[in-house]
Structure 1
Amino acid sequence: MIGSLDPQFCGKNVEKLRRAGIEGEVVEAKNILSLNPYFSTFITQKRPYVCVKMAMSLDGRISSPRGSE
């Protein structure tokens, strides 16, 4: 079972497996790629996958004034 083809190798590894007598089939590549967005974004878009988490108060501020708690 092959989850996804790495575009860097254009399926060459699948051919190596077949020549060695090992059968494989690509299954649900889209679903597999969504399991690891960090890898798939880096490989397909040549950029890191970035996730930002921020909290904002009701008045639109993201931090308290300097020196206050």
Structure 2
Amino acid sequence: MQSRTPEIPAEAWFKSSYSGANTSECVEAAAVLDGAAVRDSKYPYGPQIAFDTHAWASFLAALRDNRLS
């Protein structure tokens, strides 16, 4: 069975503080009930991918620890 990300209000999406104000190549994230959703900022109505709370926390920890380079 395929799972879909629930409708997320436009104001819930945010870009990383590391994204420049004038850049068009970034991802946006939004907190959802059980984790986070991510989308391409150039295509706000395009596909989204959802991560459960554990997967999102693991991803953020890996970023903080510089394990994704």
Structures share fold, TM-score greater than 0.5? no
Higher CA-based Rg: 1
Structure 1 length as normaliser, TM-score? 0.25
Q: Name whichever structure is richer in helix by fraction.
A: 1
Structure scoring higher RCO (CA < 8 A, sep ≥ 6) equals 1
